[in-house]
């Protein structure tokens, strides 16, 4: 099974961790299954950007980005060239490394109040 290395995130995963998930699993589902409580405001249907991750290794091994995902990603906080919506990013057979951005769009908005 491919491994997902998660880089440290102050709240969700302070030490960083490595998990395993079956090919065909979305990164979002894999994280949630391992109690890494990434935001997923729309429930994984590509209608928010709260599940945004930056893929630091293995980006090209994931399924291709579809247009819907690209459109949504444009609104994500802290967009990077290797950003994905984790609910749309499906593991194939290679390991990946992901970084969960410091903020999701929901938190960024709350922070502005
Ligand atoms: Fe909403 Fe992924 S959970 S786009």
C-alpha 66 – ligand 1 centre gap (Å): 14
Predicted pLDDT of residue 106: 65
Q: From the alpha carbon of 85, which atom of ligand 1 is closest? A: 2
Q: What CA–CA distance (Å, rounded) separates 25 from 2?
A: 10
CB neighbourhood size of 90 (10 A): 18
Q: How far is the CA of 5 from the centre of ligand 1 (A)?
A: 20
- Ligand 1, residue 46: give the atom nearest the CA: 4
**What are the helix (H) ranges across 1-113?**
27-33, 67-73, 105-111
Q: How far is the CA of 49 from the centre of ligand 1 (A)?
A: 5
Confidence (pTM):
0.92
Atom of ligand 1 nearest to the CA of 49: 4
Taking the chain (113 residues) in runs of 10, the rounded mean pLDDT of each run is 97 97 98 96 96 98 97 93 98 98 70 46
For the chain, list the domains and their CATH numbers. Answer: 3-110 (3.10.20.30)
Is 68 in contact with 42 (CB distance < 8 Å)? no
Query: Distance between CA atoms of 19 and 72, rounded to whole angstroms?
Result: 27
Strand order in the sheet with 83-85: 17-20, 3-6, 96-99, 52-57, 83-85
Task: Report the nearest-CA residue for atom 4 of ligand 1.
Answer: 46
């Amino acid at each position: 099974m491919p491994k997902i290395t998660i880089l440290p995130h102050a709240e969700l995963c302070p030490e960083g961790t490595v998990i395993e998930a079956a090919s065909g699993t979305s990164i979002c589902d894999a994280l949630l299954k391992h109690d890494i409580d990434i935001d997923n405001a729309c429930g994984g249907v590509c209608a928010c950007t709260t599940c945004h991750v930056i893929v630091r290794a293995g980006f090209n091994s994931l399924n291709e980005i579809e247009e819907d995902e690209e459109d949504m990603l444009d609104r994500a906080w802290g967009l990077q060239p290797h950003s994905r919506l984790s609910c749309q990013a499906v593991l194939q057979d290679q390991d990946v490394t992901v970084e969960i951005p410091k903020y999701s769009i929901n938190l960024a908005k709350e922070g502005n109040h």
